[in-house]
């Protein structure tokens, strides 16, 4: 993946100097593929020095990281902060708090707000308000006006105004010629286009996999062909257009195979896996009800294992939460009436450690690579690495500490993972040299 560096957002310009020294930490840096014990000195939001046994200066704040892993701040390429338009579920501030609690220092918000992020004024409003938050909030713009899938947005103007990529996430793009034109434009602009892959013509009840579980519920559900058919089409379009294309929240094992094949043919393809898709199967719907309803749905154990294999061999190069808050009242509806989606920012790292690292599917470096440097490279973000001169976006966590999520700083609590025993506790999130 080529590097597309972006400027550090304005809130990192500090009026007064800030000095911090992290002592005795175990640095795990996927960008350099190194894990080692060292100290880190931070000055004015930037990593100033990395060395063993740095002598503290009188004015420095000392953080003892003994026994903790120090990694780049996590980057989530796929979140819904519901702002503007649906702020009874989440807003920029509560979303930022949830992100920081989970170790995320950068997030990319999706465009399916109200109004849709399809114009420069809407984009500017979000980015200006985001500057007051203590993490880096980036914004993707929509591919089409009003998410109608037919009229292309002014992608050049939106990119110039700060859009980091383009997506109609939540709605598939059905017009093939339109999508190909959008890919060509995205390639010209040097930004990714991310795709929600569910053909509605195959789906009778969204959010639940078509199979034995949907049969028990007395509904038809959403078959995997709904995803696979669009993934096959869009992998071919990516190969022909040369665009950087992201297959969002991949759920089917056949989809993983398609991405693997087209990558081998030279397509600039990327794929996201969510913690819920590599941890749960559609059986979870029988236990957790609407808290396990999402688009695309949880699928079979074979699909889950295929996703894990795709993560292990690099076919799937990004882990993203698809953080999708909904109110309790909305989720308390019937399985067919409730909205799809779960929150994920506060449990993502722990689920990666619990479901992928501890069973031996991924190393810690591999897990963090998919949550830091890979997203940073894809979207041209300034973070995602631990090196002198880089932004001081870091997290300190204990990979061995057990904990149980019982409440959330997100405005919503729609998660099937409440009450689970998880490994990997975030102890501190540092963004731009500031503890958040």
> 166 with 143: CB under 8 angstroms?
yes
pLDDT at site 8: 38
pLDDT at site 59: 86
Number of neighbours of residue 269 by Cβ within 10 angstroms:
25
Q: Which of 76, 168, 268, 322 is catalytic?
A: 322
Backbone angles phi, psi at 48, to 5 degrees: -90, -35
Ramachandran region, residue 145 (left: φ > 0; alpha: ψ -120 to 50; beta: rest): beta
Strands (DSSP E) contained in 80-178 are 104-109, 136-139, 166-167
Nearest to 396 by CA among 9, 39, 16, 12: 39
pLDDT at site 271: 98
- Please count the CA atoms within 13 angstroms of the CA of 395 that sit on its side-chain side: 27
Nearest to 166 by CA among 232, 253, 77: 77
* Residues of the chain under the 50 pLDDT cut: 1-16
114: which 2 tokens?
């109200």
Helix axes 92-101, 120-130, angle to 10 degrees: 50
55: which 2 tokens?
């002598």
Over the Cα atoms of the chain, what is R_g?
A: 21
Residues 6 or more apart whose CB falls under 8 angstroms from that of 16 comprise none
pLDDT at site 17: 54
Residues 6 or more apart whose CB falls under 8 angstroms from that of 102 comprise 74, 345, 346, 347, 348, 349, 426
Cα(244)–Cα(430) distance, integer angstroms = 30
Tokens 């990192």 locate to 12
Biggest CA pair distance of the chain: 68
Cα(272)–Cα(378) distance, integer angstroms = 12
Cα(149)–Cα(171) distance, integer angstroms = 8
Q: What is the 3-state secondary structure (H, E, C) of 309-333?
A: HHHHHCCCCEECCCECCCCHHHHCC
Predicted TM-score of the model (pTM) = 0.95
Helix (H, G, I), strand (E, B) or coil at 378: helix
Strands (DSSP E) contained in 116-263 are 136-139, 166-167, 193-195, 245-247
Helix (H, G, I), strand (E, B) or coil at 434: strand
Q: How far is CA 221 from CA 45, 153, 337, 346, in A?
A: 49, 32, 13, 29
Active site residue 234: no
123: which 2 tokens?
């984009």
Helix (H, G, I), strand (E, B) or coil at 234: helix
pLDDT at site 361: 98
Nearest to 98 by CA among 118, 113, 83, 114: 83
> 187 with 242: CB under 8 angstroms?
yes
pLDDT at site 3: 36
Cα(222)–Cα(201) distance, integer angstroms = 10
Number of neighbours of residue 128 by Cβ within 10 angstroms:
11
Q: DSSP string spanning 23-35?
A: EEEEEEETTTTEE
Q: Residue 21's beta-bridge partner residues?
A: 41, 62
């Amino acid at each position: 993946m080529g590097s597309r560096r972006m400027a550090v957002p304005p809130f990192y310009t500090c009026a007064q100097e800030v000095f911090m020294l992290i002592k005795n930490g175990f640095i795990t840096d996927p960008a350099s593929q190194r894990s080692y014990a060292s100290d880190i000195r931070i000055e004015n939001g930037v990593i100033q020095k990395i060395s063993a046994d740095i002598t503290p200066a009188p004015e420095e704040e000392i953080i003892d990281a003994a026994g903790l892993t120090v990694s780049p701040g996590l980057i989530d390429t796929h979140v819904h902060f519901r702002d503007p338009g649906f702020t009874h579920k989440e807003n920029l501030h509560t979303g930022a708090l949830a992100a920081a609690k989970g170790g995320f220092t950068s997030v990319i918000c999706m465009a399916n707000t109200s109004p849709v992020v399809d114009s420069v004024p809407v984009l500017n409003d979000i980015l200006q308000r985001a500057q007051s938050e203590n993490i880096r909030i980036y914004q993707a713009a929509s591919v089409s006006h009003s998410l109608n899938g037919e009229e292309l947005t002014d992608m050049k103007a939106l990119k110039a105004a700060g859009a980091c990529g383009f997506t109609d996430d939540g709605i598939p793009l059905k017009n093939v010629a339109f999508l190909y034109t959008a890919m060509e434009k995205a390639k010209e602009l040097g930004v990714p286009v991310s795709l929600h892959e569910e053909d509605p013509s195959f789906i009778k009840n969204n959010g639940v996999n078509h199979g034995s579980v949907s049969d028990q519920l007395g509904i038809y559900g959403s078959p995997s062909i709904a995803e696979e058919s669009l993934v096959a089409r869009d992998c071919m379009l990516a190969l022909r257009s040369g665009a950087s294309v992201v297959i969002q929240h991949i759920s089917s094992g056949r989809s993983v195979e398609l991405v693997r094949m087209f990558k081998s043919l030279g397509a600039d393809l990327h794929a996201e896996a969510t913690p819920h898709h590599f941890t749960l199967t559609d059986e979870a719907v029988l236990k957790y009800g609407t808290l396990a309803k999402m688009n695309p749905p949880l699928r079979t154990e074979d699909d889950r294992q295929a996703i894990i294999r795709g993560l292990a061999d690099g076919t799937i190069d990004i882990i993203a939460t698809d953080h999708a808050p909904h109110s309790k009242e909305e989720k308390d509806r019937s399985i067919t009436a409730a909205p799809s989606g779960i929150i994920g920012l506060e449990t993502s790292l722990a689920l990666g450690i619990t479901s992928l690292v501890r069973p031996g599917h991924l190393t810690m470096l591999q897990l963090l690579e998919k949550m830091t440097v890979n997203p940073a490279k894809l979207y041209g973000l300034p973070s995602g690495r631990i090196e002198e001169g880089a932004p001081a976006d870091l997290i300190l966590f204990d990979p061995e500490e057990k904990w149980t999520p019982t409440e959330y700083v997100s405005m919503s609590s729609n998660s099937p993972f409440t009450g689970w025993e998880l490994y990997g506790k975030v102890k501190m999130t540092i963004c731009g040299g500031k503890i958040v």
